[in-house]
């Protein structure tokens, strides 16, 4: 591409879409864009890129080829289909799209100049699902989206075997910095083909963040860097729990938590304590501070307030653990506390 002929406004737009973790693209940004417009997130992305193993750099370069070639050809006035280019890449590099044996989750880092607050975990979880559904439709076709990703047309009795779309503040600074698509039944070939292509997350208001795949693996691999994963007996609320059934005199919130855990074949609950708040970055957060309503309308939502809990089980429990209303979108999420 002859970049010298591109109008400055076009160069700005191209730069905004570049993979800033790629040193080649980063050099282009610094050459064409005033230093005042180079955001801190881009600099951080370059450092993160340099810290990646060479194998991971290769994977990301290959996955980025269709987008970069399509963009360059469009600027030259000879547009080509990015979908066609992706098919070529998948054919020539099958190892990058092969399912990982035993994998049950894909974990991503969220990168951007202003990451969303942890109170928006539900909103981000819904955006994550929307992004995955959009990719699945493009890659597999709208009629072939796996039920474990969509949550639709599941076998009777399989209420929680489909994907959980979880947003996480892994470093405890009050901002969402990681995303996880957790598939209890396993990430098969079709799911893997979709998830490895996720590179950006959009909010409905137009704001977006870059998404960097860290790994598709068994959840225990992530236990060292996140309390959402691993095995433990004591678990504490990370986001508000909203009871999924209407309360009755003899069917309280604690009754509902115990019933749900029993239905999921979890160990018996030994202790169950309600917490008035949770502390994040020195702030005392109550359930009311969190977004607690789904975007989808006409849903039955027995609980609009929410509550925090500490659950101690009689035996070990494998994370992630999410219970209650909208648990597949990040509410009712618990972290290991032992």
Distance CA 192, CA 100 (A): 8
Last residue of a domain, one of 182, 204, 222: 222
Last residue of a domain, one of 196, 222, 248: 222
Q: Which of 290, 282, 299 is nearest to 332 (CA)?
A: 290
Q: Are residues 107 and 84 in the same domain?
A: no
Q: Which of 49, 7, 68, 61 is nearest to 32 (CA)?
A: 7
Question: Does residue 38 surpass a pLDDT of 80?
Answer: no
The per-residue pLDDT for 26 is: 52
The per-residue pLDDT for 40 is: 57
Q: Which of 55, 170, 47, 63 is nearest to 108 (CA)?
A: 170
Domain count, the chain: 3
Q: Are residues 211 and 101 in the same domain?
A: yes
SS in 3 state form for 250-288? Answer: CECHHHHHHHHHHHCCCCCEEEEEEECCEEECCEEECHH
Q: Are residues 75 and 158 in the same domain?
A: no
323 close to 260: Cβ distance less than 8 angstroms: yes
Q: Are residues 213 and 114 in the same domain?
A: yes
The per-residue pLDDT for 275 is: 97
How distant is the alpha carbon of residue 260 from its chain centre? 24
Q: Are residues 84 and 9 in the same domain?
A: yes
Question: Does residue 39 surpass a pLDDT of 60?
Answer: no
- Both tokens of 166, joined, read 């979880």
Q: pTM for the whole thing?
A: 0.79
Last residue of a domain, one of 222, 241, 259: 222
Bridge partners of 333?
322
Distance CA 306, CA 239 (A): 9
CB-CB neighbours of 28 under 10 Å: 17
User: Residue range 234-251: average pLDDT?
Assistant: 96
Q: Are residues 288 and 187 in the same domain?
A: no
Q: Are residues 215 and 107 in the same domain?
A: yes
How big is the chain, counted in residues?
A: 338
CATH of the domain at 119: 3.30.70
Q: Are residues 87 and 104 in the same domain?
A: no
Q: Are residues 154 and 53 in the same domain?
A: no
Distance CA 136, CA 195 (A): 8
CB-CB neighbours of 40 under 10 Å: 8
Distance CA 323, CA 326 (A): 8
Q: Are residues 317 and 286 in the same domain?
A: yes
Which residues constitute the domain of residue 155?
Answer: 95-222
Q: Are residues 122 and 178 in the same domain?
A: yes
In terms of C-beta density within 10 A (0-12 exposed, 13-18 middle, 19 or more buried), how is residue 125 classed? buried
Report strand pairing: 200-202 vs 178-182.
Answer: unpaired
Q: Are residues 110 and 216 in the same domain?
A: yes
Question: Does residue 328 surpass a pLDDT of 90?
Answer: yes
């Amino acid at each position: 591409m002859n970049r010298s002929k591109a109008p400055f406004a076009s160069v700005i737009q191209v730069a905004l879409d570049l993979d800033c973790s790629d040193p080649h693209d980063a050099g282009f940004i610094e050459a064409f864009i005033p230093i005042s417009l180079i955001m801190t997130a881009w600099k951080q992305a370059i450092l993160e890129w340099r810290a990646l193993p060479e194998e991971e750099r290769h994977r990301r370069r290959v996955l980025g080829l269709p987008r970069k070639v399509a963009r360059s050809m469009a600027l030259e006035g000879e547009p080509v289909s990015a979908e066609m280019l992706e098919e070529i890449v998948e054919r020539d590099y099958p190892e990058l799209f092969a399912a990982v044996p035993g994998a049950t989750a894909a974990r991503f880092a969220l990168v951007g100049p202003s990451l969303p607050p942890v109170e928006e975990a539900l909103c981000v979880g819904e955006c994550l699902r929307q992004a995955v559904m959009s990719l699945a439709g493009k890659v597999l076709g709208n009629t072939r989206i796996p039920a474990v990703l969509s949550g639709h047309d599941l076998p009777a009795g399989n209420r929680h075997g489909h994907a959980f779309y979880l947003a996480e503040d892994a470093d405890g600074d009050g901002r969402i910095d990681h995303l996880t698509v957790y598939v209890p039944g396993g990430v098969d070939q079709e799911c893997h083909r979709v998830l490895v292509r996720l590179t950006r997350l959009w909010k409905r208001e137009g704001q977006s963040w870059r998404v960097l795949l860290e790994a598709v693996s068994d959840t225990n691999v992530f236990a060292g860097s996140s309390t959402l994963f691993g095995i433990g007996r004591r678990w504490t609320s990370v986001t508000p729990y909203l009871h999924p059934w209407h309360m009755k005199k003899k069917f309280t919130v604690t009754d509902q938590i115990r019933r749900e855990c029993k239905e999921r074949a979890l160990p018996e609950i030994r202790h169950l304590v309600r917490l008035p708040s949770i502390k994040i970055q020195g702030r005392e957060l109550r359930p009311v501070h969190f977004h607690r309503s789904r975007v989808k309308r006409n849903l039955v939502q027995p609980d609009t307030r929410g509550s925090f809990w500490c659950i101690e089980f009689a035996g070990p429990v494998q994370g992630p653990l999410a219970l209650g209303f909208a648990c597949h979108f990040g509410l009712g999420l618990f972290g290991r506390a032992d």
